[in-house]
Amino acid sequence: MPAIRKISPCLWFDSQGEEAANFYVSVFRNSKILKVSRYTDAGKEIHGRPAGSVMTVLFELEGQTFTALNGGPMFKFNEAVSLQVDCADQAEVDYYWDKLSAGGDPGAQQCGWLKDRFGLSWQIVPNILVDLVGDDSPAAQRTLAALLEMQKLDIAQLKKAHQG
């Protein structure tokens, strides 16, 4: 098993942690489930989960480890934290956007952000974006204005806005 990183995200789910981990592993090519832990009768008066049900899933996406925790419905994801996917080209933007947004919240899609079917927010961002909006030039301002009108980011349209 690969070494767990010093810092890695723990994603809290009600009871869909294994389903979510399997979904994310299916979307990202260099990914895998590392370990599934199950609740036991120990501590049942606190966790309230049936013995044998999934407690945590340790998984890896593109070299980054994550833990999915089935902790109950007390906490929900919100847009204050999102996972960013850096994309080399429009084909990658389209692939990740289509896969991760399927069944998600279409009302939460703006400026490259989307919310997946589990409520987790993602940013699907072309690598070139940093260069296009990375200063306060008129070209960067035009690019930013175009970006603010988009849901899924369109590299050709961003470049067109940048060029004026």
Over 70: is that where the pLDDT of 4 sits? Answer: no
Over 90: is that where the pLDDT of 5 sits? Answer: no
Domains plus CATH for the chain?
10-70 (3.30.720.100), 82-163 (3.10.180.10)
Over 60: is that where the pLDDT of 1 sits? Answer: no
Mean pLDDT, the chain, as a whole number? 94
In angstroms, the CA 59 to CA 61 distance is 7
Over 60: is that where the pLDDT of 12 sits? Answer: yes
In angstroms, the CA 25 to CA 76 distance is 21
pLDDT band at 142; cut points 50, 70, 90: very high
pLDDT of 68-110, one tens digit each? 999 999 999 998 999 999 999 999 999 999 999 999 999 889 9
Does residue 143 contact residue 114 with C-beta atoms inside 8 Å? no
Per-residue pLDDT at 57: 98
In sequence order, the 6+-apart residues with CB closer than 8 A to the CB of 114 are: 97, 100, 101, 104, 105, 108, 121, 122, 124, 151, 152
pTM of the model: 0.91
